[in-house]
Copies of this chain bind each other. A is one copy, B any other.
Amino acid sequence: MDLDFFFKPNGIAVVGATKKMKGGYAIVVNLKAGYKGPIYPVNPRYDEIEGLACYPDIESVPDPVELAVVFVPAPAVPGIVRACAKRGIKGVMIESAGFSETGPEGAALQQELKDIVAETGIRVWGPNCVGLVDAKNRHVFSFVSPAIWNEGPIPGRVSLVVQSGMLAGGFLVDTMSHGTMGVSKVCSIGNKADVSETDLLQYLLSDPDTEAVAMYLESIPDGRLFTRLCAGAKKPVVVLKGGKSERGAAAAMSHTASLAGNGAVVSGALAAAGVTEAVDFKQMMDLSRALAMVKNPPSSGRVAVLTYSGGAGIISTDFLYEQGLSAATLSGGTKEALARVFPEWMPVNNPVDLWPAVEKNGAGPVYTAAMEAVAADEGVDALLLHVYIGGLALTLDPDHMAAVAKKTGKPVFIWLIGEAAGARNFHLKAQEAGIPVFRELYRAVECMAAVFHQARGKRHAPLPDASAGPAPSGDFSFLERSGVLDEYDAKKLLAACGVETVAEAVADSPEKAAALAQELGFPVVMKGLAPGEVHKTERGLVTLGVASGEQAEKEYARLSGLVGEKGRVLVQKQAAGGPELICGMFRDPQFGPTVMAGLGGVYAEVLADTAFGLAPLSEDAAVDLIGRLKTQKLLDGFRNTPPVDRKALARVLTALGNLAVWFPRVSQVDVNPLICVKGKPVAVDATVILE
C-alpha cells in the first residue's frame, strides 16, 4: 500500500495554521521541529507564521505539496478536501473533530468526505484524530501540544495504530516520557472515513523501521482482509480490541450465533492468524516491545530461571506453566558448571537460587557464570533473570550482562525491582542492549510466552490458503425456502457436504415407524418435526429409548398429532458414546462466514468454552481451532470413553466452512449434538437457517 505521501510527503500544507496558541499553531511548530520538506501554512488572515510564508488558500500553495494537514471547523472541511484533490494533493489528514462521533449532522459531513474520496481518488486520514508521529524521522504531524516534544520522541521498533485519538495521544506521551520504550510510527486513525487499520497494517508490515505492530481497535470492518494480512505477516502483530463485550447486531437464532458474542469471533480469527491479543493498554505496549526485541525464538519454551530469591523462583515456575511454557530440566553438565560457583551444601536445580552463591562469590561473577552455564544447555530455550538493583550485595552491571546475554544467543528476559534511580538506569541500559525488562514478574512471563507462542502460531493462514473446492451435486431444492429447515433436511444438507449423520428415516405411518425402528435396531429415538420449530426437546417432540415396535407405533401417533399435517415424524438410531460436541456456522457482520466448535451442551453454554475460525477452513486450521478449546482435554479419552479422532472432527468443521461457501443462502447452522461414537463424530441433530 503506497501511503508514503502521508508518512514522508514532499511538501505539507497546514490548513488552519494560526499564530494563536492553539492546535493550528502547534501543528506548524511540530512540523518545523523535525520535518525537512517545505511547509506551507494556509490562512487568509496571515502573511507568515513562525517565519514561514502563509497562503490564503490551498489553491495558491506552490509546488511541491503532497499532504494537507487540516485543522478547521468540521463544516469547512469537505470544501477544503475538494480543493486539495483539485490541486493534485495526494493525501489529507483531518485532525478536526465534529464528524460521525457527534451525531447525524457530523455523520453527513463524514459521508461527504467518503464521497469525495470515491470521486477523486484522494486519500483521507481521520477525521477526529491526533495525526501521526514518526520518531525516527522526527515527524510530528499533530496538534498535540509541543511541550512534550522538547526532547524529541524516542525512536524504537514498535509501530502503533490507535483508533481512539485521546488514547493515542495519551499513550504516546506516557510511553515517551517514561523513556523505557521507544516507538517507530504512531498513527491515530480516528473515525476512519477512508484510511483504515487495514491500510496502515499493510503499510507498516513493509516498513523497514517497524519490527512489530501494536493496534488498539474498536472495530475491524474488513475483518477477513485484516486477518489475512496478519496471517501472512512476517512481523508480530498485537491487537487490543475494544468493546468485545458488546454483542453483534446479528439476529441470533442459532446457538452458534448467540455463542459468538463477547468477541469470540474476533479472538478466534486473530488467534488463527497468529496475532497476539492484548487485554489492557500498557500490557499491549509490553507485549509488542518484547515481540519486537526477541525474534525467532526456538520452537519450544523451556525456561531457566536465575533468581536471588528461592520464593520468587518458585512463583516464576508457577507462572511459566500457567502461560504454557515450562521450567527447563538442567543437564548434569550444567549442574556441574553451576556447582563451581555454589557453596557445597547448595543443591542446584531450576529455578536456580543464586543467593548463596552471590554471598560466596559476588553478584557479577555468579550471574555471569550462571547465565553462561544455563545458556549452554541444549535443554534451555530462554533465560528469565531476576535482578535487584540498589545494594544488598547484588550490584550488577547492565552492559556486562547485556554482553553475556548477547553471547549466549538465547532470549534473555529480566524481572527488575530495586531502588528507583538505579533500577531505572539499569532498565534503560538493558533495554537499549536488546534485553526486555519488566517491573512485574507475571508480565515478564506473559511476554516471554507471547514471544514463543507467536513464533509457533503462524502455521495455518485461514485465507487465502483454504478453498472450498467444487460444490456437491444433488437435489437441494429445499434451500429455496426461507426460515428454518427441519432436522431431516438439515442433515441431508450436512451429509451432502461430507458430515457423517446418524442413521434415520421419515415414517409416514405407525407401521412404517415400527418397521424402521426394527430395521435401525432398538432402542431408537423418535422426533416430531414441526415446520419452523427449533426447540424440539422443550416442546416434548423428542423421545429417547423407544424400545419396541409397539412403543414406536404409539409414539408415532403422539408425535404426528403434535406436529400436525405439515410436520413429519423421524425415526433415528440412538447414538451413544462421548463426548458430545456442538459445532456450527454463522455469518459474522465483520468477519463473514465463521465456523464454531465447542464441547457439548453444558460445556459450551455454561462454561462458554467455544472456538471460532473463519470459513473456508483448511483441515489443519480446523485442527488448530480444536486445539484452542480450553476443555480440549475432554477429547483425549476419559475413563471408558475412547479419544476423539481430531482429524475426523476437523473434517466436520471444514465441511461446515465449505457449506458456507457453497450455499450462500444458508445463514446459520447448528450441529447439536455432534456425538463421538467410538471416537468418530456423528451429527445427531442439526438446525439450518436460511436467509
Contact = CB atoms under 8 A, between A and B. Distances in A.
A318 interface: yes
B170 A388 contact: yes
A355 B166 contact: yes
Contact of A392 (B102, B163, B169, B245): B169
A421 B244 CA distance: 33
Contacts of A558: none
Contacts of A566: none
Contact of A345 (B102, B281, B345): B102
Interface in A335-354: 343, 345-346
A137 interface: no
B164 A309 contact: yes
A51 interface: no
Residue with the greatest number of chain B CB neighbours at <10 A, chosen from A170, A317, A538: A170
Contact of A311 (B216, B605, B639): B216
Interface string A214-253: 0010100000000000000000000010111110000000
Contact of A280 (B346, B423, B441, B638): B441
Contacts of A631: 606-607
Nearest to A310: B164
A633 interface: yes
Interface in A297-332: 308-312, 314-315, 317-318, 321
Interface string A611-645: 00000000000000000000101100011100000
Interface stretch (A172-180, A463-471, A653-661): A172-180
B280 A174 contact: no
B602 A282 contact: no
A97 interface: yes
A356 B102 contact: yes
A495 interface: no
Contacts of A174: 390, 417-420, 423
Given A171-B417, A174-B419, A390-B148, A243 B314 contact: yes
A314 B216 CA distance: 12
B311 A602 contact: no
A308 B147 CA distance: 21
A440 interface: yes
A548 interface: no
Contacts of A179: 420
Interface string A170-211: 110110011100000000000000000000000000000000
Given A356-B102, A392-B145, A602-B634, A417 B312 contact: no
Nearest to A280: B442
A537 interface: yes
Contacts of A388: 166, 170, 173
A683 to B, nearest CB: 19
Contacts of A279: 442
A474 interface: no
B102 A638 contact: no
Contact of A164 (B167, B280, B312, B440): B312
Contacts of A166: 308-309, 355, 388, 392
A144 interface: yes
A242 B311 contact: yes
A688 to B, nearest CB: 22
A317 B170 contact: no
Interface in A386-411: 388, 390-392
Contacts of A456: none
A88 interface: no
Contacts of A173: 388, 390-392, 417-419
A321 to B, nearest CB: 7
Contact of A282 (B164, B439, B633): B439
Contact of A309 (B167, B315, B421, B441): B167
A561 interface: no
Interface string A367-400: 0000000000000000000001011100000000
Given A177-B421, A178-B420, A392 B167 contact: no
Contacts of A638: 601-602, 605-606
Residue with the greatest number of chain B CB neighbours at <10 A, chosen from A605, A607, A640: A607
A283 interface: yes
A315 B420 contact: no
Given A309-B170, A311-B216, A392 B144 contact: yes
A359 interface: yes
A638 B602 CA distance: 8
Contacts of A606: 631, 633-634, 638
A417 B285 CA distance: 13
Contacts of A148: 390-391, 419
Contact of A418 (B144, B170, B321, B440): B170
A441 B169 CA distance: 17
Contact of A537 (B315, B537, B538, B639): B639
Nearest to A345: B103
Contacts of A171: 417
Contacts of A420: 174, 177-179
18 contacts: A163-B311, A164-B309, A166-B309, A166-B388, A170-B417, A174-B419, A174-B420, A174-B423, A177-B419, A179-B420, A242-B315, A245-B317, A281-B315, A281-B441, A282-B439, A282-B440, A537-B639, A601-B639
Interface of A: 97, 101-103, 105-106, 144-145, 147-148, 163-164, 166-167, 169-171, 173-174, 177-179, 216, 218, 240, 242-246, 279-283, 308-312, 314-315, 317-318, 321, 343, 345-346, 355-356, 359, 388, 390-392, 417-421, 423, 439-442, 537-538, 601-602, 605-607, 631, 633-634, 638-640
Given A167-B312, A218-B310, 4 more contacts: A97-B359, A101-B356, A164-B312, A240-B315
Query: Shortest 10 CB-CB distances between A and B: which pairs?
Result: A103-B345, A145-B391, A177-B420, A242-B311, A164-B311, A174-B417, A166-B309, A177-B419, A280-B442, A243-B314
